[in-house]
Structure 1
Amino acid sequence: MKRTAALLSLLATLTAATVTAGCGDTAEPAADTVSLLVAGTPDELAAYRALAAAYERATPGARVTLIEASTAKDLMTRVSTSIAGNSPPDLFLINYRNYGQFAVKGALAPVTARLAASAGLHEQDFYPQAMGAFQWRGEQMCLPQNISSLAVYYNRTLFKQYEVAEPAAGWHWNDMVATAQALTRDASGRTVRAGEPETAGVPVAVHGLGVAPELIRMAPLIWSNGGDIVDDPGAPTRLTLDTPQAREVMQDFLELPRIGVVPSDVEVEAQDYEARFAAGKLAMFVSSRRVTTAFRAITGFDWDVAPLPQYRTPANILHSDAYCMTRTSANQDAAWRFLEYALSDAGATLMAKTGRTVPSRISVATSPAFLSPGTPPARSQIFLDTIPALRPVPTIATWPEIEDATGKVLENAFFHGDPLDKVIRDLDAATRTVFERGAASR
């Protein structure tokens, strides 16, 4: 009986000491407890758990309460509602395209002074492109965990099988389209070309290319062609997709389904681009570094990455997530100590080994922890070579709404063939008032 009572007492003690991710607690947190809200795949969330555990081992008495969101959208909802309810996490990890709405509301605690006084972190430790994306009204609002860009993931086995040259640095958009045509095949391995009578009605087993019809996929190509997506990157009031440079890119992009090198909307609905590539049904797939962790589980073929194609000059779009500290957090000192560890060589190395991110910390990005010799992709250096050509989208409170609005128009145009002039008019109509609200809040 005494043994049973002792066991029950021990279980009660352990239960009281355990903080379940995402659950509230009426007790006051310990002075060295910090809550962190993140989103990700199971592999990514496992990496954050490992990071939290490593920090706790390295910092006696410290504790990290990890709050796990299922998706980026779920994370945004949780951040918004928790800030509105005056119960936000101490820290959250967010993409720079989404953080503007919280900076505008004054919901974030700037870290400029803490960074300047830190013995462990220094501004020059990080790529300036990522740091700049999280600066607001002269303050460093958040510290970047990663810096990524778009790349072309490609199935090396298919390239070798059909004797197609692998993509090289400096390749043009037209080169990518021609490569996609050469690799679009039926089940017997024959080339399938749209408009050719001998392959009319023949089901495509492997499409040459997968790319989502989104503004953030078109933007770097427009920049490469000498155009821009907005009238003023610093204070945008409208899209500028009616210029000759932007029109050329959009026309080329929207013609991909008519050329026959991309899967249809029905096919994508049944199996998304990432899953299709992993299944060997796409020869090439345009995405950021985030898919690497999943692709490392591929055993049926060899794969690698290539640079994004260009028009006139190299250009790419910044992908970066950062740790942001909430203004009303009562544990800002503890949160900062966690950040110093998470973004140190030790913490950044741990996250780099997942393969999911390109570290924002230069010393780790240029180390074997990220470049990972012997582990795909073999050409990880491409992500570092691209950094000088990275550009961010504008930081305004309503940018996520602009992406949503343009995504609906572009998806319909991509799969259903709307005329270019109509697409440009529809994009402007769908976003003009959203830009106005963003300008007003700034």
Structure 2
Amino acid sequence: MKIKGTALLAIGMSAAIALTACGTNSGSNSGNAASGNSGKASNADASGGTEAKEVKLRVGTWDGGDSLKIQQQIADNYMKAHPNVKVSIESVPDQYGTKLLTQIAAGQAPDVFQIGDGDISMFMNKGSLEDLTSYIQGDNGIKLDDYYANVLDVGKLGDKYYTLPKDYSDLAVFYNKKLFDEAGLPYPQAGWTWEQLYDTAKKLTKKDGDRITQWGVNLPGAWTRAVLPLINAYGGSVISPDGEKFDGFMNSDGTVKALELYQDMYQKDRISPSSTESAAFKGVDLFAAGKVAMSVGGRWPVTDYKSNKDLSFGVVAMPAGPSGAANTICYAGYGLYSKSANKDEAWSYLKYLTGPEGQELLGAYAFTAVKATAEKLGQTNDEALKPFLNDIPNIKDFPEKTSPYFSTTGGKALQSVMDKMMLGKPIDVKKELDAAAKQGDADLQTAKSE
């Protein structure tokens, strides 16, 4: 069974679902959570002396194929233990975000629904997500220490939790042991730096005249989320901590230096294939094919790499910079609809889905945030997965979490800079970031006033 990391889909979904101005959280249902979460939900007490009422729960997801089969298996297992509950999985693989927003506008969203990391803040501001904090702390709650904190906290805004994690991946660097051995280079080790990655990649880049036959590393191109670890490692950022300003942050010294280094990797020393060069291989995984010696990415290709008999590879944590180590995350979670008619029952299922029972199935093909489940599934001892887990403490907040307006304001301006950088002609990074930051601030003020 092959399942691509659904956490990656969260990033794509954010672009499809994001709107301009979002309403503020009315909090009209938050009191119900506090007063109703006694830990005596009818489904949790189905074994009591009185017959439990029949409850119908709807669960929204963008999953399809094998991933959907796993979700259905989890629902079936839950219903066997809670015969009074009927769980219906509503799969919308295409245009999921559009349909979900339509359902929310009509007051008819699923009781529990899947959500990408970049949209949590938006849905919270729209008043669509139930504050889970009282449920977490209630008699039928969960122990926060049972989860990897930096993963769990993706669903935390301020001091309140709005989603629980389905799956996720941070980033790491894959390296081809054969190509390192041929070059007589030591394998990279945890604690290495971006400068060391750069220097190593230059040594592993091979040319035939002006034509490159082997690149030292495959970098994430214009994917801004994946460039954040480099920016943060150099002390930079892209938005103020309060989400109110881009100027002075997106164009800070650390951000400028990081992106100047990034541009040099692509255009000065050409240690990473450009988008045009990658496209020429028509979808071939350049790392698996031995065309690049290192590759920055999530855990998604690990299963395929392990099954490739011609590939001997290792994995190492992301490099550190002058400001220390930094990583980022791709995350898919579940939230509880603020207008659900069965909040206690929905919480019980949400807890099951994202807890040890559900995660033992979901975690077979993705990272789980439940520590004991990760250990049970062997993720903590797998040499190809441990570097990801070891780097979880270095995950930093991403700008879409800081501001629900990021994608359509500063994020759009920053993306334009990254796209220009990838065109092959050097840009004045400082000048471009100054303009992007100012444009982002102007767009942010407009968005907040609408």
C-alpha distance 379-214 of structure 1, shift in aligned 2 (>3 A): same
Q: SS of 2:127's equivalent?
A: coil
Answer yes or no: is 1:51 the counterpart of 2:88. Answer: no
CA contact (8 A) 1:109 1:325 kept: yes
Where in structure 2 are the equivalents of 1:9-408 lying within 5 Å? 31-40=54-63, 42-70=65-93, 74-119=95-140, 121-136=142-157, 138-146=159-167, 148-184=169-205, 191-192=206-207, 199-205=208-214, 208-230=217-239, 232-239=240-247, 240-258=249-267, 259-270=269-280, 275-293=285-303, 295-312=305-322, 313-354=324-365, 356-357=366-367, 359-371=368-380, 373=382, 378-394=383-399, 395-401=402-408, 402-408=410-416
Q: SS of 1:275's equivalent?
A: coil
Alpha-carbon distance in 1 for matches of 2:362, 2:284: 22
> Aligned-pair distance for 1:405?
4.1
Alpha-carbon distance in 2 for matches of 1:305, 1:274: 20
CA contact (8 A) 1:396 1:438 kept: no
Amino acid at match of 1:177: Y
> Aligned-pair distance for 1:348?
1.6
Alpha-carbon distance in 2 for matches of 1:241, 1:273: 32
CA contact (8 A) 2:363 2:377 kept: no
Q: SS of 2:90's equivalent?
A: strand
Alpha-carbon distance in 2 for matches of 1:410, 1:296: 32
Alpha-carbon distance in 1 for matches of 2:331, 2:159: 19
> Aligned-pair distance for 1:131?
3.3
CA contact (8 A) 2:302 2:384 kept: no
C-alpha distance 421-96 of structure 1, shift in aligned 2 (>3 A): same
Q: SS of 1:308's equivalent?
A: coil
Amino acid at match of 1:277: F
C-alpha distance 280-408 of structure 1, shift in aligned 2 (>3 A): farther
CA contact (8 A) 2:60 2:112 kept: yes
> Aligned-pair distance for 1:33?
3.2
Q: SS of 1:415's equivalent?
A: coil
CA contact (8 A) 1:94 1:324 kept: yes
> Aligned-pair distance for 1:176?
1.1
CA contact (8 A) 1:406 1:430 kept: no
Q: SS of 1:408's equivalent?
A: helix
C-alpha distance 220-69 of structure 1, shift in aligned 2 (>3 A): same
Alpha-carbon distance in 1 for matches of 2:266, 2:227: 15
Alpha-carbon distance in 2 for matches of 1:41, 1:172: 39
Amino acid at match of 1:436: Q
Amino acid at match of 1:432: D
Alpha-carbon distance in 2 for matches of 1:86, 1:228: 37
Alpha-carbon distance in 1 for matches of 2:138, 2:339: 21
Alpha-carbon distance in 2 for matches of 1:41, 1:286: 27
Alpha-carbon distance in 1 for matches of 2:290, 2:120: 36
C-alpha distance 408-76 of structure 1, shift in aligned 2 (>3 A): farther
Q: Which moved more, 1:46-55 or 1:168-177?
A: 46-55
Alpha-carbon distance in 1 for matches of 2:91, 2:232: 36
Alpha-carbon distance in 1 for matches of 2:180, 2:304: 21
TM-score (norm 1): 0.78
> Aligned-pair distance for 1:428?
2.0
TM-score (norm 2): 0.77
CA contact (8 A) 1:147 1:321 kept: yes
CA contact (8 A) 2:305 2:311 kept: no
1:414 pairs with one of 414, 422, 427? 422
Number of residue-to-residue matches in the alignment: 391
RMSD of equivalent CA atoms: 2.9
Q: SS of 1:113's equivalent?
A: helix
